[in-house]
Amino acid sequence: MSVTGSLATETEWVRAKLAWYANDLISLGVTGLRLDAAKRETLGMTLCPTNRVQNLDIAADDISNITARLSKKVTYDLGSPILPDEYIMNGDVQEFRYTKKLKSAFSSTGIAGLKGAEDDGWLSSAVANVFVSNHDTERSGDSLNYQSPANMYILAMVFSLSYPYGTPTILSSFSFSQRSDGPPNGGAGTCSGSNGANGWLCQHRWAAVAGMVPFFNAAQGTALVNWQNGSAQQIAFGRGFIGFVIINNDDTPWVNTFATSVPTGLYCNVIAGPYSYGTCTGASYAVTGGTLTTTIPSRSAIAIYTGAVAKSVVVNMKEVATTTPGEASCSDAYKNDLPDMLRL
């Protein structure tokens, strides 16, 4: 920052221009703004332009009165007189301690230690903007990134979108080999289906991430319940009666009967792929009387919630056949009514 030019935010003209630019972005559909290097400005200077930023009032998918969300980069540095919680009066503040904790937990110390980590002096959940990685940390080595081994990056994003702390941000970026690498394809992002192309990663489209966003939205405001862990790298927890997540960051499968508050039913694993009208992309999981018995393979996860309930297979008996020993127990007509996987 020592060689970077600084805007004269103490002047009225600059403040007005910054507010105009932010409002112009909002008018074009932007719903989130990030203020870089906020700690380099005095508190009054960060407040002045943002107080003029308008709210965005639209209706989309039953969500109304959406407000443009503001997040500020204020790193926590031990011994520094400038603290992140000094900047919470006009929007969220990025909680970098969360990012470092995720990297440490998934890489070595164990994800079982993530429960209650936010109580160690972190920002309040209501004002914390959390992330597994951003454009800086994925290059600096201060976080997990898409190159992290053993599926840790995706598992950490599953955790971030299911654990009740902060407002998560998902980085959508591009591949790189050197820290200074710029965007490929002339800077034009290319996303398609559940992936990217031409060097773009498009993490927001990855099946696990896209599947967890509806889970996150549905679980808003619900409590953390039914925390369980096997090894230090195996955790499971619920969000009220809405959802349940199991994360196995270990090298061995996790076989267990889990206690859950999710109602009895058959649920799709939303991490596996899109859910549509009772149809699962991947496996379904049965919850009976507050328990779920299953095996979670190594380095994988499952997430179920009440918004992704699988349809039961209903078989209608069209005729009754009288059988004698050695005969089939159903007629050919009945066989033809069965799904392929159930035919004899």
The sign of the torsion formed by the CA atoms of 107, 222, 277, 341 equals positive
Closest by CA to 71, choosing from 20, 1, 141, 129, is 129
pLDDT of amino acid 2: 53
In contact, 261 and 294? CB cutoff 8 Å: no
In contact, 157 and 146? CB cutoff 8 Å: no
The sign of the torsion formed by the CA atoms of 166, 175, 146, 107 equals negative
pLDDT of amino acid 69: 84
pLDDT of amino acid 339: 30
- Write phi, then psi, for 238 (nearest 5 degrees): -115, 165
pLDDT of amino acid 342: 28
- Domains of the chain: residue spans and CATH: 12-219 (3.20.20.80), 224-305 (2.60.40.1180), 315-344 (no CATH)
Strands 92-94 and 69-72: parallel
In contact, 132 and 169? CB cutoff 8 Å: no
pLDDT in tens, the chain (344 residues): 455 667 787 788 888 888 888 888 888 888 888 888 888 776 555 555 555 565 533 333 333 344 678 899 999 988 888 899 998 888 899 999 999 999 999 999 999 999 999 999 999 999 999 999 999 999 999 999 999 999 999 999 999 999 999 999 999 999 999 999 999 988 999 998 899 999 999 999 999 999 999 999 999 999 999 999 999 999 999 999 999 999 999 999 999 999 999 999 999 999 999 999 999 999 999 999 999 999 999 999 999 999 999 985 333 334 443 434 443 333 333 233 323 322 22
Burial degree of 109 (CB within 10 A; 0-12, 13-18, 19+): middle
